[in-house]
Amino acid sequence: MEFLFLEPVFKEAIWGGTRLHEIFGYEIPSDTTGECWAISAHENGECRVAGGSYDGEPLSSLWKEKPELFGHYPGDQFPLLIKIIDAKQDLSIQVHPDDTYAGVHENGSLGKTECWYILDCEPGSEIVIGHYARDKEELETMIQDGRWGELIRKVPIQKGDFFQINPGCVHAIKGGTMILETQQSSDITYRVYDYDRLSDGKPRQLHIEQSIETIKTPFQADESRPIKESLEGADHTHFVSCQYYSVDKYDITGTFTIEFNQYFTDISVISGTGTVNGVAITAGQHFIVPANSGLCRFEGTLSIICSNPE
């Protein structure tokens, strides 16, 4: 069964930059390109198949018309969205809702559980993960009073770090950081604070009420830790398994053979070059291994991140 290579969709943002072009060679729309939606069937940025039997087909169409490609995975929409985010400047302080809240308040949308793999960052970089409010009352007071220095929890990062971001967790990517993000197929973000920045001369919309309702207090850090092992032809790191996805990284040198699970697998090539079942692949390519594809044989020197639906 052939692989489904996808044509990325790009999103401009006031905090975006040019590294999507500089590092991966993408043809980006401007010098403020913030996101590459690499594997997406979401209506706000849907990918099409690039080449092969389904060339030009929207991913959502294949999901509906060819469910066997995805192992008849349950659900009426493709469940995952894979992004690369280039933050030249700080993103807003934000939070995402869970399925229940989004289903009620966002026209039946999925919630947004996500995770970050740090592709690159400047020395001394930090990200925002969590907050210091003891309860909802203190959270609301600190937000209304703009006590951001007291509220926001920052953590240092370096290339290769991984973070699981559950719904209700305050978070923000800081400037100088590039990440690969695996998330539920959702485009719901509640901005808590945006540094009083202007977009087209106006402040960007904030979502204070929704943020206070969805932020979990007190903050509890995710306890998942990477598990590493050496396999024949690859070093394997298992990052996380949650109810929506599992995420793994394989650093391949030489020849590595693997059979993925009964459903489909999203693969992002984050560095290097090589082949998979004789098909040339290089950094910046993203593809889906359909269900029941059998053994996949990778050859070359490359690193891939694999996301499986759970």
**Active site members:** 191
Tokens coding 240: 């996380």
Give the pair of three-digit tokens for residue 309.
């639906």
Nearest to 156 by CA among 176, 126, 130: 126
Using an 8 Å Cβ cutoff, are 116 and 181 in contact? yes
Q: Write the burial class of residue 121 (CB in 10 Å: 0-12 exposed, 13-18 middle, 19+ buried).
A: buried
Q: Which of helix, strand or coil describes residue 285?
A: coil
Q: How is 87-139 classified by DSSP, letter by letter?
A: ESSPPPEEE---HHHHHHHTTT-----EEEEEEEE-TT-EEEEEE--SSHHHH
Burial level of 120, CB count in 10 A (0-12/13-18/19+)?
middle
Burial 76-87 (b: 16+ CB within 10 A, else e): eebbbbbbbbbb
Distance CA 4, CA 78 (A): 14
Polymer length of the chain: 310
